[in-house]
Amino acid sequence: MSMKKTWMKKAIALTMTVAMAATLFTGCGSKNDAPKEVVINFPTAATTGALYPLGAAITNLWTEEIDYVTASSQASGGGVDNLNLLHTGEAQVSIAISSNCYESYTGTGTFDGRENKDLRAIAGLYYNPNQVVVLADKGYETLADLKGAHFATGAAGSSTEGESNNHFTAAGLTYPDDLNAEYVGFTESVDLMRNKQLDGAWVMAALGNAAVTEATSTAGAKVLNIDDSIIEALQAEYPWYAKFIIPAGTYNNTEDIQTTAIKMVMFTSAELDEETVYDLTKVFWENVETLAETNSGLRGITVEGAVTDLAGLPIHDGAAKYYKEIGVLK
């Protein structure tokens, strides 16, 4: 073989080696810094609630839009259950009210002695307002007026009953002794109010709730205003309460009604890597209007609200990176 041919073979071999090395180097580039496959389990709540279809819509979006993510939603026992599942590693992302998140993060209340310092917020979503529904002909105007009333405070041990306890206590009542309490849910309460067997009931649900609408339109009920002094007392003790306005015309109200609300929070663990959470956050907010078309709870939410009223829960670095990128965080 001539020296020229030998040289040409060596040159070709060297070129192929360089090309292969370049291909390998490109394959290790920034796009693949994120895991090639991330599985996300997203527990929601009961199949009859609003969180179940919302979780399904979000996980379907992530699976379709992020090539390395396979996400799926599951029914669950709700916020407390979701936070427990995250703590044990059985869930990677979920949703709960900010009060539940605060207690899980700090190991207080329901989560006494079981703090999860790895808990991180992805986004604050919508508010769950407290709605105190009472018979209009009883003359109730304040929470204190309900002393001695036959009142449905929510199922025993439920988040709704916890709200009843906090608010009536802030209003100066001894809970539950100062009430003739019934520990039933609001759907059952509507019929009892219509039959004048209940004076009122506590509801924590999104605006336009069907049961509240039914009570105010067919059972002679109205929604009470909650005074500034009570809201201030609650906020001084519990970091998750926000002041909230139920707009005139939402039910049978001709004027705005002031109440309290707790934000729903999408959360994850600090153990989920930064780039994955960045992508989850970005894809969610870039498609939130489409999600809102079939999930009414998301209608009207803004990315600016994603970082407010989180009860001190730290934001995941990946989510914070996105919010800084778009100017919501500095």
- Structure confidence at residue 11 (pLDDT): 43
In the predicted model, is pLDDT for residue 50 greater than 90?
no
- Structure confidence at residue 49 (pLDDT): 79
Q: Pick one of 3.30.70.20, 3.40.50.10860, 3.40.190.10, 3.40.640.10 as the CATH number of 128-262.
A: 3.40.190.10
Q: 36-127+263-325 is classed in which CATH architecture? A: 3-Layer(aba) Sandwich (3.40)
Nearest to 300 by CA among 310, 312, 311, 289: 289
Cα–Cα distance measured from residue 210 to residue 79, given in angstroms and rounded to the nearest whole number = 22
Domain boundaries, the chain: 36-127+263-325, 128-262
CB 309 within 8 A of CB 263: yes
pLDDT band at 29 (very low <50, low <70, confident <90, very high): very low
Mean pLDDT of 235-255: 95
- Structure confidence at residue 296 (pLDDT): 86
Q: Which run of H or E residues covers position 317?
A: helix 317-325
> Does 128-262 match 36-127+263-325 at the fold level?
yes
In the predicted model, is pLDDT for residue 3 greater than 50?
no
Mean pLDDT of 254-269: 97
- Structure confidence at residue 315 (pLDDT): 98
Mean pLDDT of 47-73: 95
In the predicted model, is pLDDT for residue 5 greater than 70?
no
In the predicted model, is pLDDT for residue 15 greater than 50?
no
Nearest to 42 by CA among 1, 12, 81: 81
Structure tokens at 64: 């379709």
Q: Which run of H or E residues covers position 99?
A: helix 98-106
State the average pLDDT for the chain: 89
Q: What is the pLDDT of residues 278-309, one digit of tens each?
A: 999 999 999 999 999 999 889 999 999 999 99
Mean pLDDT of 268-273: 98
List the beta bridge partners of residue 42: 73
Mean pLDDT of 95-107: 95
Q: What is the pLDDT of residues 119-160, one digit of tens each?
A: 999 999 999 999 999 999 999 999 999 999 999 998 887 888
Sign of CA dihedral 252, 235, 79, 200: negative
pLDDT above 90 covers what percent of the chain?
A: 77
Q: How many CB atoms lie within 10 A of CB 99?
A: 24
In the predicted model, is pLDDT for residue 225 greater than 60?
yes
Sign of CA dihedral 287, 288, 294, 300: negative
- Structure confidence at residue 33 (pLDDT): 56
